[in-house]
Structure 1
Amino acid sequence: MKKKIQAEFYTNKSYFYFGTLIALLSMLPQLFFSPNSTHTTYLLITLVLLIMIPKFSKILFSIFIIFINLSNILIGHIALHWGYALADIKPRIEVAFLSPIYETKEYMTHYIDYRDYALVFFSIFVLFLLFKFLRHFTHSYKVFRIIGLGVFVSILLAVTFYINPVREFEPFSVPCEVCSVMDDKKKIDQIMQKREEYISHLKILKANKKHQIYDKVIVVMGESANKYHMSLYGYKFPTTPFLDSLRQSRYLYVFNAIAPTNQTRYSLPIDLTEANVHYYENRYFHSCSILTNFKANDYETYWISNQGRVGKNDSSISSMAYEANLSFFANLNYLEAKTDEVLLDYLNKLQTNPGKEMYLVHIMGSHSDYVNRYNTETALFKNAKNIVEEYDNSIHYSDYILSQIFERFKHEKLLLIYLSDHGENINLENNGHGFLPPFKDEYTVPFVIYSNVKNPRLDELYKDNKKGYFNLENFNYIVQYLSGITNHKNLSFSHDVMAVEPSNIFNFDELEFYN
């Protein structure tokens, strides 16, 4: 038997070495990006299995090699651009499925670079080797065929006994994660409908009208605004001339705050409902947004957004939007996103209402690709030379949008609030949000409040901010408290923030800045 095995090995030596080389090259990228020793061990076991497969089945070997090389491109892209601290790309797949067409297009333009091309070419090279292997290499295995199949089945059974590799470990979990996301999308529609029904039966007690001193309450929700790129917060370039001018008056309050998470799809529900960093899902599904709270207190409510939506009930943001008396989305999956000026046009078309109104204005702000977020004529840097200047131009443009909203309502008893869903990492080499592990820059957001009516509660809030930065996970309480529709400010000074999805909680103070 020993002589037969030796004879088979030497007879098929080229076949063995070439198949092993293809298996090793296929697993190399994922071994390089592997986030922990447990996952590395699993990948090494997979490598052994791959080496065994061609001994008994070329077809099965080809299927595995093609699948792994395709997954290398996806996992490698995430690892290179966003971090791969956990072997779980499901949140990234969810974002892709819920993104409108223009956002997907801009993402591919902005975040696909030479490293991705290198991964693609590497995978093509490996698949070329596989083609050569299938066409030019044959074997005469008999004993090795049985040994290979036996080892393959034994290892597979042993691994499956302890874990479910298809569902728990990448790359083989990727198809299951895609199916899971698609299944989740179907469930979300049912869940959101139940949330809508729950809200419709909520009984909200009206507040005492003597505390309600504003006729117009406007919350402008920015996008990807990093306060350290705002001159209002000490930045070296005059990116916020309008807010800077308001600061000269006694009406503008500038706060120190952090965003609760680095993803829009979680930050907006946390900002606007009773959900928070540690208790997201259940509290979101069983609470209304501030739109319903204001509506119950006789405010006409508006959700005005320059961001895309997928459908009425298939995302947490859309669900909140339809709590308003009137909702408007400027970008409905168009190939090209409009600048935020489109919201000004819409506001100007609305009839003047002498009664109480509450607006939630969700701007495109500084969402990448930054160069598409401003008009060149009004830009701070007319010929932006790099991505930092493009980002600064987007901040400057958001400041202009705020000035125009202010002009429309400045003669009313006005409460105007500006904050951002999350921050942004800005660097010449790389930028964005949603990294894992995250950076401080993804949470350092502006939080400014203008009131042309004397409000002791606002002065009190400003004093509270001296004790430490606010976590905007309780922003919904703050805006209701300042508006007088509740007497509970319920501030959060928590240092805990969410990254990418609810299961990832970090202490903000322990994070590093991106630069």
Structure 2
Amino acid sequence: MKPVAPEYTHYFSLKNLNDEIFHKSFSLILVIVLTSVIVALAESAQGVFASGYAVGRVANALITALFTGIGLALIRFLLYSELLKKVYTFVLCLGSIVLALTEVFCLVKFLTKMSASVIQVILDTNNAGEINGFFGSYFDIEALIIILSFVFLGLSVFFFSERLYRLFAAHRKILAVFLIIVTGLSFHITGKVGGRSASVPLIRFLDSTKYILKVRYQIEKMCADKTNRVEIVSDNSDVPYFVFVIGESESRHFMSLYGCKYDSTPYFKELEKTGNLFAFTDVIAPRSVTALVMPYLLSFMSSVDDERDIMKYDPIVDVFNKADYQSFWLSNHEKITKDLSYSTYVSSRCDFAEFTAKSIQNLEYFSKLTLRDEVMLPPFARFLEEKAPDRDKNLFVFQLMGSHILYKDRYPDSFAKFKEGDIDDFSSNRKKLVAEYLNSILYSDHILHEIIKPFKDKEAILVYVSDHGEEMWQGGFQGHAPANLSAYMVEIPMTIWVSDKYKEKHPKTVAAVKNAINRPYMTDNLVHTLLDLAKIKTKQYDPAKSIINDKFVEIPRIVNGIRYEDLRR
């Protein structure tokens, strides 16, 4: 048997292993830990975590980053070439610092951290004009401080890592006690020690990139397959105009239609008085993020199904197409991330599709989409005038920008009805934002008026839901972050409008709608209700999941793994 070479025996000795991982890789581990903790602190400062939970999340990030850093150091140890080790360390350290800088900047400016959508936006910002425009808008003293801080961090690690290593080595017992305390805090507050490796900016970037590639492949595969696999069991559809409108970030708690004291939905209130509009009182969304909600709204997939099996579930547009409807898609959401969305796939199944936000092609999307929903009206009018008469039955699907942040950019000055001084239920530093949110809802009420107007003298039905809700400090948070999920983020409006001609021709359906308005419901099953309204049945249709059906069965509503009733506590 050939003896092991002495140099290999020495290299893999315990002493050398300790020296390679904890001494020579100290700068790598330090950068991984520091960048992860800094991002976690930035999240806490921006209110992404509830204050009591923030300490536990930061402790979680520290422990997770430490183990991740040690794991990366082990990989470095296995690289036998010293040059390769140096390149490996430099690339990971520089990459971690740049990614953490990007995340802190995004958190401060846009209240979001690294995600697949952010990476996609960066990839799509590909010309000098866009880059200059972005820096012209967002490069300020705050941005300069963030950049200089990370430059200082990088230089400090480069010049002082050896001194820091000796300092830590000399106080190992104190360091051990500190890590025990941090571990205890992590477990006490969050119920676990450490977290997913995605707490580390570098790993989160790799995970997001992997997700982009996976979803792009899946969406491209789905879009390339034009086969309509819907199996219709019965088709009694005869409604000439079926309209489905998806709102954005609208909370029913801020709509006068639902009892809000501020007159934010005057048009819908008037429609309710005439008996043409029915407001459902206990409807929630299955998630608090648009991208996660859309597959449920637009297909037969429910929140208890495996998302990886999305291709098994028929999209709603395919059902209407199979029933000989002409389908139209109008969206004021971004085209920059459409390659990542299920909405893209569904829009590609329509006979006609228009993305009115297609000119927004850079990072400005995350803070200031200035295309208001009124830009959807001209293409809508064109479709209605030029294309709809060609067929007896037409489906229109709208995706509004609604009350997406920043609220003040969602409406023109003429709809700035509510002022800071009109708001008396909130502290002074919150009144302005609440007023802007109410104005965005008022403007959406107007847009819905404009969508309904051409159908008033036709036989038509319109279903309106918001993708998810928005918390406005009712529970101490503002926004709809999944990390701080609350009931307010999923409590949404759901309304059904019917024209007079529809009421005359479909009295039983109208009665069923009226009798169902107080039933508890979650919109992951909405497609079954839409099919009931359209009088279409397919293999995947289930009457027990339709809120207006006599066979409706109330089931537990689970939001991101949590019972809705628990969120209400």
Q: Please confirm whether the aligned pair reaches a TM-score higher than 0.5, indicating the same fold.
A: yes
The answer to whether the aligner puts 1:29 opposite 2:81 as a matched pair is no
Q: List per-residue Cα deviations over 1:120-177 (Å, max 9, x = no partner).
A: 554333234235538xx899x9xx9xxxxxxxxxxxxxxxxxxxx9977624423532
The answer to whether the aligner puts 1:367 opposite 2:404 as a matched pair is yes
Give the Å deviation of 1:63.
5.6
Residue 219 (structure 1) aligns with: 244
The answer to whether the aligner puts 1:174 opposite 2:196 as a matched pair is no
Shift of the 415–116 alpha-carbon distance from structure 1 to 2, 3 Å rule, reads same
**Corresponding residue SS for 1:415:** strand
**Corresponding residue SS for 1:262:** coil
Residue type matched to 2:286 in 1? P
Give the Å deviation of 1:362.
1.2
Residue 315 (structure 1) aligns with: 341
Residue 414 (structure 1) aligns with: 460
Shift of the 382–349 alpha-carbon distance from structure 1 to 2, 3 Å rule, reads farther
Give the Å deviation of 1:83.
10
Matches within 5 A, 1:92-491: 92-98=114-120, 120=147, 122-130=149-157, 132-133=159-160, 170-193=200-223, 196-197=225-226, 200-205=227-232, 207-209=234-236, 212=237, 214-255=239-280, 256-310=282-336, 315-334=341-360, 337-350=370-383, 351=385, 353-354=388-389, 355-381=392-418, 386-427=432-473, 431-452=478-499, 453=503, 454-466=506-518, 468-486=519-537, 488-491=542-545
Is there any run of 5+ residues in structure 1 with no aligned partner, and where? Answer: 1-14, 145-164, 499-503
Residue type matched to 1:423 in 2? G
**Corresponding residue SS for 1:29:** helix
Structure with the higher helix share, 1 or 2? 2
Shift of the 442–186 alpha-carbon distance from structure 1 to 2, 3 Å rule, reads same
Q: List per-residue Cα deviations over 1:177-212 (Å, max 9, x = no partner).
A: 244134224423443236x34xx2425337343xx4
Looking at structure 2, the residues matched to 277 and 82 of structure 1 have their Cα atoms a distance apart, in angstroms, of 28
Looking at structure 2, the residues matched to 107 and 439 of structure 1 have their Cα atoms a distance apart, in angstroms, of 33
Give the Å deviation of 1:238.
0.5
Give the Å deviation of 1:400.
0.3
Residue type matched to 2:266 in 1? P
Looking at structure 2, the residues matched to 111 and 430 of structure 1 have their Cα atoms a distance apart, in angstroms, of 25
Looking at structure 1, the residues matched to 543 and 513 of structure 2 have their Cα atoms a distance apart, in angstroms, of 9
Give the Å deviation of 1:394.
0.9
Looking at structure 2, the residues matched to 474 and 108 of structure 1 have their Cα atoms a distance apart, in angstroms, of 43
Looking at structure 2, the residues matched to 177 and 125 of structure 1 have their Cα atoms a distance apart, in angstroms, of 28
Looking at structure 2, the residues matched to 398 and 450 of structure 1 have their Cα atoms a distance apart, in angstroms, of 15
Residue type matched to 1:361 in 2? F
Looking at structure 2, the residues matched to 439 and 111 of structure 1 have their Cα atoms a distance apart, in angstroms, of 31
The answer to whether the aligner puts 1:41 opposite 2:53 as a matched pair is no
Residue type matched to 1:29 in 2? I
Give the Å deviation of 1:44.
3.9
Looking at structure 2, the residues matched to 46 and 288 of structure 1 have their Cα atoms a distance apart, in angstroms, of 41
On the 8 A contact 1:271/1:475 being kept in 2, the answer is: yes
Looking at structure 2, the residues matched to 47 and 477 of structure 1 have their Cα atoms a distance apart, in angstroms, of 49
Give the Å deviation of 1:374.
0.8
Looking at structure 1, the residues matched to 296 and 531 of structure 2 have their Cα atoms a distance apart, in angstroms, of 15
On the 8 A contact 1:304/1:362 being kept in 2, the answer is: yes
Shift of the 233–116 alpha-carbon distance from structure 1 to 2, 3 Å rule, reads farther
Looking at structure 2, the residues matched to 276 and 74 of structure 1 have their Cα atoms a distance apart, in angstroms, of 35
Give the Å deviation of 1:111.
11
Looking at structure 1, the residues matched to 530 and 272 of structure 2 have their Cα atoms a distance apart, in angstroms, of 20
Looking at structure 1, the residues matched to 100 and 339 of structure 2 have their Cα atoms a distance apart, in angstroms, of 34
Looking at structure 2, the residues matched to 295 and 512 of structure 1 have their Cα atoms a distance apart, in angstroms, of 39
Give the Å deviation of 1:510.
1.6
Looking at structure 2, the residues matched to 450 and 349 of structure 1 have their Cα atoms a distance apart, in angstroms, of 22
Is there any run of 5+ residues in structure 2 with no aligned partner, and where? Answer: 1-22, 42-53, 77-81, 170-194, 362-368, 422-430, 546-552
Looking at structure 2, the residues matched to 285 and 50 of structure 1 have their Cα atoms a distance apart, in angstroms, of 36
On the 8 A contact 1:257/1:446 being kept in 2, the answer is: yes
On the 8 A contact 2:28/2:93 being kept in 1, the answer is: no
Shift of the 98–303 alpha-carbon distance from structure 1 to 2, 3 Å rule, reads farther
Looking at structure 1, the residues matched to 88 and 522 of structure 2 have their Cα atoms a distance apart, in angstroms, of 52
Residue type matched to 2:461 in 1? L
Shift of the 382–64 alpha-carbon distance from structure 1 to 2, 3 Å rule, reads same
**Corresponding residue SS for 2:561:** strand
Shift of the 63–398 alpha-carbon distance from structure 1 to 2, 3 Å rule, reads same
Shift of the 244–490 alpha-carbon distance from structure 1 to 2, 3 Å rule, reads same
Looking at structure 1, the residues matched to 256 and 139 of structure 2 have their Cα atoms a distance apart, in angstroms, of 31
- Give the alignment's TM-score, normalised by structure 1: 0.73
The CA RMSD over aligned residues, in Å, is: 4.6
Shift of the 181–114 alpha-carbon distance from structure 1 to 2, 3 Å rule, reads farther
Give the Å deviation of 1:62.
6.0
Residue type matched to 2:459 in 1? K
On the 8 A contact 2:267/2:445 being kept in 1, the answer is: yes
Looking at structure 2, the residues matched to 505 and 426 of structure 1 have their Cα atoms a distance apart, in angstroms, of 23
Looking at structure 2, the residues matched to 430 and 222 of structure 1 have their Cα atoms a distance apart, in angstroms, of 21
Looking at structure 1, the residues matched to 289 and 239 of structure 2 have their Cα atoms a distance apart, in angstroms, of 31
**Corresponding residue SS for 1:380:** coil
- Give the alignment's TM-score, normalised by structure 2: 0.67
On the 8 A contact 1:299/1:357 being kept in 2, the answer is: yes
Give the Å deviation of 1:481.
0.0
On the 8 A contact 2:419/2:435 being kept in 1, the answer is: no
**Mean Cα displacement is larger for which, 307-316 or 237-246?**
307-316
Looking at structure 2, the residues matched to 107 and 417 of structure 1 have their Cα atoms a distance apart, in angstroms, of 38
Shift of the 283–171 alpha-carbon distance from structure 1 to 2, 3 Å rule, reads closer
